């Protein structure tokens, strides 16, 4: 298989992501602009991507994979590069689906994002415990380094961007995870150090939800500055944009993008979706362990989305993409967390068994009005 030239995507000196190169003149001659995919539409602005689910890879959903190849130029494995999937125990690696993901990306010459090297969730207990006793800091750092080096080295010629640490900050303090409990905040530093040593040319980012929060921004930027003073570089931040109809506002997202960019960081919109269902209490985070009991009042659109809600869905996507386009010199990538509504995690979180409509394509693989609206912004 032909090697993908990563210089097409990465400027090694600054680790900045470059636009993909398309023969736009040839494309214009062969198909109307309304028939072009999202990648072609936004080619002069930023990379546009999606997450590929385990089900899609495992069952070889050719219809969905063709849609992804047509519409996007960037892909992330939703689950299949997370620790629990790729390394279910310390002495066992399962590369099958991750390799399949990479093969698809290489075949379609896509920018691939490795997600995620260090996270507190979806990780086997034997990483942190041996015979029910916590591992020593030294042993745990060794396990972390081995995992990062093995992952990055295996995909060095294919994956140019890595979510090195995922969801380590709880508003204005370190999240009290097992990583923090047994290593301390040093684990954040070491994770980026190990990843940088494993592939000096890689584009390394920190990824989290709630990044519109000024207190979280300040805490994270202070941590990144401390790493920089030690010679450890972080190239960008991933803003998971698990949005709702009532927030975060476009202004909040814009302020965050500008703030991170002023700190010398490229901004990635990493997990964008738009929850259209009623909120559970006032919960607005994205902690995967959160779970609420099913209630029919929280699942009102089983038979379809009402027109007024569909219009709000379109309006929200449009106003957010207006921000991304305005700051396209700062935004490296915009990735939705899934492609069609039926595969979205929002159908099962934070309440299992609901019918949600958070993405740009419906359950019949058809583009929604929001899809056409965001394309019209640059056409």
Domain annotation covers residue 1: no
Domain annotation covers residue 38: yes
Q: How confident is the model at residue 9 (pLDDT cuts 50, 70, 90)?
A: very low
pLDDT at 10 over 80: no
Domain annotation covers residue 143: yes
Average model confidence (pLDDT) for the chain? 91
Domain annotation covers residue 251: yes
Q: Residue 263's domain is classified under what CATH number?
A: 3.20.20.80
CB of 41 within 8 A of CB of 234? no
192-219 mean pLDDT: 98
How much is the pLDDT for 284? 63
Domain annotation covers residue 326: yes
pLDDT at 40 over 70: yes
How much is the pLDDT for 290? 77
How much is the pLDDT for 289? 74
pTM of the full predicted structure?
0.91
Q: How confident is the model at residue 231 (pLDDT cuts 50, 70, 90)?
A: very high
Number of domains the chain is built from: 1
Q: How confident is the model at residue 2 (pLDDT cuts 50, 70, 90)?
A: very low
Q: How far apart are CA 203 and CA 196, in angstroms?
A: 9
pLDDT at 8 over 80: no
Indicate which residues carry an active-site annotation: 167, 271
Q: How confident is the model at residue 285 (pLDDT cuts 50, 70, 90)?
A: low
290-302 mean pLDDT: 89
Strand partners, 89: 92
How much is the pLDDT for 26? 35
Give the residue carrying structure tokens 């995922």: 166
Domain annotation covers residue 313: yes
Domain annotation covers residue 160: yes
User: Which residues span the domain enclosing 108?
Assistant: 6-376
19-26 mean pLDDT: 38
Domain annotation covers residue 179: yes
Structure confidence by residue, pLDDT tens digits, 44-54: 999 999 999 99
């Amino acid at each position: 298989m032909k090697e993908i030239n990563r210089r097409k995507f990465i400027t090694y000196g600054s680790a900045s992501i470059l636009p993909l190169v398309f023969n736009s003149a040839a494309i214009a001659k062969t198909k109307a602009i309304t028939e072009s995919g999202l990648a072609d539409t936004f080619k002069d602005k930023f990379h546009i991507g999606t997450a590929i689910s385990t089900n899609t890879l495992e069952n070889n959903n050719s219809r969905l994979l063709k849609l992804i190849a047509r519409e996007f130029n960037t892909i992330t494995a939703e689950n299949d590069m997370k620790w629990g999937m790729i390394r279910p125990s310390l002495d066992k690696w399962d590369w099958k689906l991750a390799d399949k993901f990479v093969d698809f990306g290489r075949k379609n010459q896509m920018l691939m994002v490795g997600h995620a090297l260090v996270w507190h969730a979806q990780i086997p207990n034997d990483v942190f415990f041996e015979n029910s006793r916590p591992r020593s800091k030294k042993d745990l750092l060794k396990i972390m380094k081995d995992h990062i080096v093995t992952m990055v080295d295996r995909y060095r010629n294919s994956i140019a961007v890595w979510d090195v640490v995922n969801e380590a900050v709880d508003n204005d303090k370190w999240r009290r995870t097992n990583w923090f409990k047994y290593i301390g905040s040093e684990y954040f530093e070491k994770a980026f150090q190990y990843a940088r040593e494993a592939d000096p040319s890689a584009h390394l980012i920190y990824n989290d939800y709630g990044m519109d929060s000024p207190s979280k921004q300040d805490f994270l930027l202070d941590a990144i500055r401390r790493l920089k003073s030690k010679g450890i570089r972080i190239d960008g931040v991933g803003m998971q944009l698990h949005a709702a109809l009532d927030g975060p506002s476009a202004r909040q997202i814009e302020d965050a993008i500008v703030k991170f960019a002023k700190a010398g960081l490229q901004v990635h919109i990493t997990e964008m979706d738009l929850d259209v269902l009623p909120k559970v209490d006032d919960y607005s985070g994205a902690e995967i362990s959160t779970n609420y009991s099913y209630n029919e009042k929280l699942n009102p659109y089983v038979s379809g989305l009402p027109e007024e809600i569909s219009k709000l869905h379109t309006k929200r996507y449009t106003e957010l993409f207006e921000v991304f386009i305005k700051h396209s010199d700062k935004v490296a990538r915009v990735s939705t967390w899934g492609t069609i509504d039926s595969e979205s995690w929002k159908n099962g979180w934070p309440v299992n068994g609901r019918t949600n409509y958070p993405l740009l394509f419906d359950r019949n693989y058809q583009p929604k009005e929001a899809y056409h609206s965001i394309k019209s912004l640059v056409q």
